[in-house]
């Protein structure tokens, strides 16, 4: 049975000075709510760091067969931030013993780490197998962070502040491909499968369409709400239509300065040249673009290529 690793010397906010004893014990709000002390905490509010806490049921279940997730010290504060029974989720171990590296490692409550591990092992790994590959990395954008929701100071505490949330940008595959969860280019049904699995497992799922904070990642957490209310807001967006690049093609270096022909049109003969050209030759684009009038071949080629995307774009707007 794996036991929690010993506390690292550089552990943050771990030791409580005697002077701090006057302060409210961090678990008091929990006790007031349900009359029970959280796992591993003596009912008198004694700091659990003093005595080696009994490993929680979650901790005992989260073995090396499931995840590489050493225990880390509880975090108390600032404010309501922090949590007990924390782990550093470094990797998820798949059924075939392959590891999915969590990059960077995520600080999470044991229960949240377990939920992430189950999600990857049971739901994500088979999806990757469908692609003829296996999951190699979980691209972690954010785990524990003491902050308000969406990073807004003073806002209600984010579940990130309780080590109960994870922001996932992508799953990387062993074959070098990547399932970027908010990328419209990733097959829609694959993203929908991830959406359904996430919304089944987590009580909050936020992605594109929820608010502008979640356009490039998926937020999952295990927030507990009244009546088991859940939030699943993730618009799986269709690929954008293939349209011409919005910026014009790079002007060739050898092209003559455009202004001369476009604005000043100093040579009266230039325009008539265009007209005769148009009639005799097939350069339609020249006719529409006076600045291509007296140009060399580079300029007219450019004008020709430029006219094409415009057409495509117009066509694609029609149903
Ligand atoms: Zn988040």
Tell me how far the alpha carbon of residue 277 lies from the centroid of ligand 1, in angstroms: 61
* Residue 172 burial (10 A CB sphere; 0-12, 13-18, 19+): buried
Q: How confident is the model at residue 221 (pLDDT cuts 50, 70, 90)?
A: very high
Tell me how far the alpha carbon of residue 225 lies from the centroid of ligand 1, in angstroms: 17
d(C-alpha 114, C-alpha 163), whole Å: 13
pLDDT at 135: 97
Least confident of 59-73, 122-136, 150-164: 150-164
pLDDT per residue as tens digits for the range 31-49: 334 444 444 444 454 454 5
pLDDT at 188: 93
Q: How confident is the model at residue 51 (pLDDT cuts 50, 70, 90)?
A: low
pLDDT per residue as tens digits for the range 228-253: 999 999 999 988 877 665 666 677 77
pLDDT at 136: 97
Q: How confident is the model at residue 212 (pLDDT cuts 50, 70, 90)?
A: confident
Tell me how far the alpha carbon of residue 139 lies from the centroid of ligand 1, in angstroms: 13
pLDDT at 66: 98
- Find the mean pLDDT for residues 310-318: 37
- Find the mean pLDDT for residues 157-169: 96
- Find the mean pLDDT for residues 161-173: 97
Tell me how far the alpha carbon of residue 293 lies from the centroid of ligand 1, in angstroms: 56
Of all residues in the chain, the percent with pLDDT exceeding 70 is 62
Tell me how far the alpha carbon of residue 167 lies from the centroid of ligand 1, in angstroms: 5
Tell me how far the alpha carbon of residue 284 lies from the centroid of ligand 1, in angstroms: 54
Highest mean pLDDT of the ranges 197-201, 294-298, 305-309: 197-201
Query: Would you list the DSSP string of the chain?
Result: -PPPPPPPTT-TT----GGGGGSPPTTHHHHHHHS-PPTT--TT---TTTSPPPPPHHHHHS-TTTEE--EE--EE-STT-EESSEEEEEEEE-TTS-EEEEEEEEEEEHHHHHHHHHIIIIIIHHHHHTTTS-EEEEEEEE-----BGGG-TTSSBPGGGGT-EEEEEEEEETTS-EEETT-TTS-HHHHHHHHHHHHHH-SEEE-TTT-GGGSSSEEEE----GGG--EEE---PPPPP----SSPPPPPTTSPPHHIIIII---HHHHHHHHHHHHHS--HHHHH-GGGTT--HHHHHHHHHHHHHHHHHHHHH--
Tell me how far the alpha carbon of residue 251 lies from the centroid of ligand 1, in angstroms: 43
d(C-alpha 163, C-alpha 181), whole Å: 22
Name the token pair of 265.
């049109």
Q: Tell me the backbone φ, ψ of residue 61, rounded to 5 degrees.
A: -85, -25
Tell me how far the alpha carbon of residue 206 lies from the centroid of ligand 1, in angstroms: 8
Tell me how far the alpha carbon of residue 210 lies from the centroid of ligand 1, in angstroms: 12
Structure-model confidence comparison of residues 203 and 156, the more confident one:
203
Tell me how far the alpha carbon of residue 224 lies from the centroid of ligand 1, in angstroms: 15
d(C-alpha 90, C-alpha 87), whole Å: 9
Of all residues in the chain, the percent with pLDDT exceeding 90 is 51
pLDDT at 29: 41
Name the token pair of 82.
């922090």
Inter-residue contact 82 to 162 (CB < 8 Å): yes
d(C-alpha 210, C-alpha 188), whole Å: 18
Tell me how far the alpha carbon of residue 120 lies from the centroid of ligand 1, in angstroms: 18
pLDDT at 270: 42
- Find the mean pLDDT for residues 152-165: 90
Tell me how far the alpha carbon of residue 217 lies from the centroid of ligand 1, in angstroms: 8
Inter-residue contact 232 to 252 (CB < 8 Å): no
Tell me how far the alpha carbon of residue 232 lies from the centroid of ligand 1, in angstroms: 13
pLDDT at 285 over 60: no
Structure-model confidence comparison of residues 305 and 200, the more confident one:
200
pLDDT at 283 over 80: no
pLDDT at 246: 63
d(C-alpha 170, C-alpha 216), whole Å: 9
pLDDT at 255 over 90: no
pLDDT per residue as tens digits for the range 99-139: 999 999 999 999 999 999 999 999 999 999 988 899 999 99
Structure-model confidence comparison of residues 99 and 5, the more confident one:
99
Place of tokens 């994870």: 166
d(C-alpha 99, C-alpha 96), whole Å: 9
pLDDT per residue as tens digits for the range 175-209: 999 999 999 999 999 999 999 999 999 999 999 99
Tell me how far the alpha carbon of residue 166 lies from the centroid of ligand 1, in angstroms: 6
Strand partners, 172: 137, 178
Inter-residue contact 187 to 193 (CB < 8 Å): no
How many Cβ atoms are within 10 Å of 105's Cβ, its own excluded? 18
The residue ranges of every structural domain in the chain are 18-233, 258-317
pLDDT at 64 over 80: yes
Q: What is the CA radius of gyration of the chain?
A: 30
Name the token pair of 279.
């009639």
């Amino acid at each position: 049975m794996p036991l929690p690793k010993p506390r690292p010397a550089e552990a943050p906010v771990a030791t409580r000075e005697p002077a701090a004893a006057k302060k409210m014990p961090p678990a008091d709000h929990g006790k007031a709510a349900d009359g029970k002390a959280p796992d591993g905490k003596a009912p008198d509010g004694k700091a659990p760091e003093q005595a080696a806490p009994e490993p929680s049921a979650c901790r005992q279940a989260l073995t090396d067969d499931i995840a590489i997730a050493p225990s880390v010290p509880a975090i108390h504060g600032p404010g309501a931030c922090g949590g007990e029974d924390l782990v550093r989720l470094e990797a998820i171990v798949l059924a075939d013993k392959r590891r999915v590296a969590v990059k960077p490692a995520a600080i999470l409550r044991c229960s949240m780490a377990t939920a992430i591990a189950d999600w990857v092992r049971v739901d994500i790994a088979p999806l990757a197998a469908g692609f003829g590959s296996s999951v190699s990395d979980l691209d972690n954008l954010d785990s524990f962070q003491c902050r308000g929701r969406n990073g807004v100071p003073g806002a209600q505490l984010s579940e990130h502040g309780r080590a109960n949330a994870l922001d996932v940008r992508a799953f990387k595959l062993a074959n070098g491909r990547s399932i970027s969860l908010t990328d419209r280019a990733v097959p829609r049904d694959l993203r929908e499968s991830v959406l359904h699995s996430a919304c089944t497992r987590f009580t909050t799922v936020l992605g594109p369409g929820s608010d502008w904070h979640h356009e490039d990642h998926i937020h999952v957490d295990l927030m507990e709400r009244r009546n088991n209310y859940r939030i699943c807001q993730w618009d799986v967006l269709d690929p954008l239509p293939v349209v011409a690049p919005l910026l014009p093609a790079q002007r060739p270096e050898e092209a003559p300065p455009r202004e001369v022909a476009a604005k000043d049109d100093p040579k009266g003969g230039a325009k008539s040249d265009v007209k005769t050209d148009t009639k005799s030759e097939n350069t339609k684009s020249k006719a529409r673009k006076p600045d291509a009038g007296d140009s060399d071949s580079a300029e007219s080629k450019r004008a020709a290529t430029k006219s094409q995307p415009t057409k495509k774009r117009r066509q694609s707007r029609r149903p």
